[in-house]
Structure 1
């Protein structure tokens, strides 16, 4: 990431006003560096090293605590767009160093309803919702009566989404109607695989749309059916995500006979023609459907939840690591110090969205009795450990940032929800905005009219809500 340098006049002032009463330790080589050289080093130090530097002496502490320096650190760690969206009161209550602490802890999110104009997608669930460049799009899904949909809608994201969005229907071709498909954004392309139609037919076709990255809503090219060499068996209610390097990864789902899969497939778009490859690993998550897969960078993906072969719902977490010569699945669990009850209940039909800091936000879903949920959780894969392994499965934060136990990274953390909370829902669509400072949620199944003999009623939703991740809980 290319970052512009913040104004460090205040840091300059601190050093220039140092009259020698707070000298650096004798023989300290850093003391001989110019301020510009010193600041250039501090800007790129790990946070724990920056804290240690500030403990050396009073002069260094004043430099290391500079508000402008910590503003730079926040942008470096969380992204410029994320920092720009945070409320001003977070900065006013202790400066950017306090904002960094608060965002590391990430305790709260604030909801608001997004206006969509007079024309837009009909109520639906098990659809695809995604962003490419500054465009938001919805495709397919299921609606009332078990019918499938085959429409594609696109909206340009405004600078301030509270102003609302305006939908446009794309009329130059979409894949045949379906729900429960996987939808993956790879660079400026969208790849859809599989899904189920209203006759119960499972698909195994692969479609691609390369047009939304151009930013022109009205000249977006039609979906193209990809002529793949091999393909996974037909399925729906599986999960897929980007696998890095123009790859699409899918796992699981429900087959033609109602069986649940536990297989992993990779589509490499850089191959000509593109080919699906069956990935064989020594261990693998149990077969399931209604789960999620989320790309966390590089060639690493996180799988969470779903419904197993005995119709039980799950809340296990797995990492698919394809960085090495041999792909491997490993199960992740919290460190022993985290309470066992401090984790989300088992669920399927939830959403899992990558937010800033390479964390994943889990929202909603439904339990074994299909009772829908409205809770939100933050998963930090870097704080997990492999089952049977005492060390972290990937580079992690220090165990005690700022030397405070309460700031130690946590595998699971329940998010406090503020503002206009959406109704409980499952099989909705969700996607991130910008660098992951906010997420959008659209549609899904919600509590509706109670039907005779049913545990809960069922309805389909067409509302859109935005969850903004904020630096404090007030």
Structure 2
């Protein structure tokens, strides 16, 4: 009998105990596992069987994935905006993720004032360039800049952004302890605070003072000079036309600009704020390699420990298109790493070099770059997206990182209203990252476009909306469409 059993083995068991261990896991355990996987693996998993498809395509899973990729604040804003909109019909988080992934265009909207036409009620900031514009506590905050006649400005304006109707807002001038007049300064958001550094006044003096302000929900703002210690302590030399951004929630990074005697700078400084935001300490970043000196460039924080530098005007007045990453692991491991892109057979990338542009981190992990001017001072009106997800989060080599330029950069189409070409404007994104507000800048005069005497300051405010396009799959999933 034993020999017969050996010759005729029993067929493989199909009982649950012999199946793959993963099939025995409850859906809530599988849900938690999927949240740890890259999106492409989640899609692959959902294609294995009907049970996994139901789980892998569930709205609750994709809402959690969107929150993981974009942050909880962004998801909350998208939920509130879509729930009161007709676009909620047929809405799913998986569809939203697909649309954002395929995004290839933006739509510009001119912002109107509800009191426009009423001279007694209507009030606007005068046209300007090289000012600052920030979004904090549901308000736009505008400060300073340069205006007609080469004069600096010291005014502060706020405008409340209503989520239910972001196309209409009213400016209010704030009178409360403003910093001295300046242009070419930087102003960044850290939590609910604003931090101004440096700039140039109309006497040509470079500044290196730091001011801190906080916007209340009653549109009040008070500026105070930040204590950065005695003069003996290290601090950045005076400058303007530099760049700055927030990193790690309580630090400000400052790079480059135009220093004393018009010299372009290439140094990098980090200001770390105290717990109560009343003081700060500067230190200079020491890196084996660093970006060449420049002005009119941008810094954009893409992760808690990484900053992207792009463009600007270098030595010899040439306009640049290089990209650098400031990688901050610890204070003893702060270093610059250059990103190299292969743009072969992509002729449109010849228009990428620029100075005086804006670079804003938007929904979906992209840096939206708008406007600026080239080496011949021709102003631009184009939009580009740099995909942050293609940049390694760790393991950057000192000699640089090479990436496929055509997969990292994308030129976006613009639909609807078209603003004028401009440079040295300012832009900021709202809390969702889907809407970007742009104000001011230098534009061409209609009489003598592109000539130095034909320049004028602009006072226009407009909103750039990311257009979330539909894929074929989306169209199939919308009501009234076949499966």
Q: Same fold (TM over 0.5)?
A: yes
Deviations 1:260-281 (A, max 9, x none): 0011111111288523212111
Deviations 1:200-235 (A, max 9, x none): 1111211111x21x32323x3233353444321111
Give the secondary structure class of the aligned counterpart of 2:101. Answer: helix
Give the secondary structure class of the aligned counterpart of 2:283. Answer: strand
CA distance in 2, matches of 1:352, 1:124: 19
* Partner residue of 1:185 out of 185, 189, 197: 189
TM-superposed CA distance for 1:341, in Å, is 4.4
- Asked whether the equivalents of residues 195 and 202 of structure 1 are also in contact (C-alpha less than 8 Å), the reply is yes
- Asked whether the equivalents of residues 429 and 444 of structure 1 are also in contact (C-alpha less than 8 Å), the reply is yes
- 2:239 is aligned with 1:244: no
CA distance in 2, matches of 1:410, 1:82: 29
Deviations 1:386-408 (A, max 9, x none): 68869689xxxxx9xxxxxxxx9
Give the secondary structure class of the aligned counterpart of 2:442. Answer: strand
Residue equivalent to 1:216 = 218
Over 3 Å counting, the alpha-carbon distance change for 1:409 and 1:43 in structure 2 is: farther
- Asked whether the equivalents of residues 138 and 160 of structure 2 are also in contact (C-alpha less than 8 Å), the reply is yes
- Asked whether the equivalents of residues 102 and 469 of structure 2 are also in contact (C-alpha less than 8 Å), the reply is no
Deviations 1:166-213 (A, max 9, x none): 22111122111010001121122211111111111111211111x21x
- 2:327 is aligned with 1:315: no
* Partner residue of 1:470 out of 464, 467, 474: 467
Residue equivalent to 2:445 = 448
CA distance in 2, matches of 1:433, 1:350: 18
TM-superposed CA distance for 1:39, in Å, is 3.6
Residue equivalent to 1:11 = none
Unaligned ranges ≥5, structure 2: 1-14, 116-121, 472-483
- Asked whether the equivalents of residues 142 and 157 of structure 2 are also in contact (C-alpha less than 8 Å), the reply is yes
Residue equivalent to 1:415 = 412
* Partner residue of 2:127 out of 123, 126, 140: 123
CA distance in 2, matches of 1:187, 1:55: 42
Deviations 1:316-349 (A, max 9, x none): 1100011143210011123678847447521100
TM-superposed CA distance for 1:452, in Å, is 10
Residue equivalent to 2:381 = 374
CA distance in 1, matches of 2:16, 2:172: 63
- Asked whether the equivalents of residues 338 and 400 of structure 2 are also in contact (C-alpha less than 8 Å), the reply is no
- Asked whether the equivalents of residues 133 and 141 of structure 2 are also in contact (C-alpha less than 8 Å), the reply is yes
Over 3 Å counting, the alpha-carbon distance change for 1:46 and 1:113 in structure 2 is: same
Over 3 Å counting, the alpha-carbon distance change for 1:444 and 1:321 in structure 2 is: same
- 2:75 is aligned with 1:80: yes
Over 3 Å counting, the alpha-carbon distance change for 1:94 and 1:166 in structure 2 is: closer
Over 3 Å counting, the alpha-carbon distance change for 1:245 and 1:452 in structure 2 is: closer
Residue equivalent to 2:296 = 290
Over 3 Å counting, the alpha-carbon distance change for 1:193 and 1:126 in structure 2 is: same
Deviations 1:63-120 (A, max 9, x none): 3234554344334433314644579798878954343223123212111111134212
Over 3 Å counting, the alpha-carbon distance change for 1:56 and 1:440 in structure 2 is: same
Over 3 Å counting, the alpha-carbon distance change for 1:25 and 1:355 in structure 2 is: farther
- 2:335 is aligned with 1:328: yes
- 2:255 is aligned with 1:257: no
Over 3 Å counting, the alpha-carbon distance change for 1:323 and 1:143 in structure 2 is: same
Over 3 Å counting, the alpha-carbon distance change for 1:300 and 1:377 in structure 2 is: same
The correspondence of residues 128-143 of structure 1 with structure 2, limited to 5 A, is 128-143=132-147
Over 3 Å counting, the alpha-carbon distance change for 1:453 and 1:29 in structure 2 is: closer
Unaligned ranges ≥5, structure 1: 1-22, 394-398, 400-407
Over 3 Å counting, the alpha-carbon distance change for 1:368 and 1:89 in structure 2 is: farther
Deviations 1:145-184 (A, max 9, x none): 1111000011222123435112211112211101000112
TM-superposed CA distance for 1:24, in Å, is 10
CA distance in 2, matches of 1:216, 1:91: 32
CA distance in 1, matches of 2:176, 2:335: 41
- 2:47 is aligned with 1:38: no
CA distance in 1, matches of 2:283, 2:389: 28
Residue equivalent to 1:54 = 46
CA distance in 2, matches of 1:290, 1:106: 28
Over 3 Å counting, the alpha-carbon distance change for 1:473 and 1:419 in structure 2 is: farther
Aligned length: 436
CA distance in 2, matches of 1:420, 1:379: 23
Task: Give the number of the structure whose alpha-carbon radius of gyration is greater.
Answer: 2
Normalised TM-score (structure 2): 0.81
TM-superposed CA distance for 1:25, in Å, is 12
Normalised TM-score (structure 1): 0.83
- Asked whether the equivalents of residues 209 and 225 of structure 2 are also in contact (C-alpha less than 8 Å), the reply is no
- 2:99 is aligned with 1:107: no
Give the secondary structure class of the aligned counterpart of 1:313. Answer: coil
Over 3 Å counting, the alpha-carbon distance change for 1:411 and 1:91 in structure 2 is: farther
- Asked whether the equivalents of residues 139 and 158 of structure 2 are also in contact (C-alpha less than 8 Å), the reply is yes
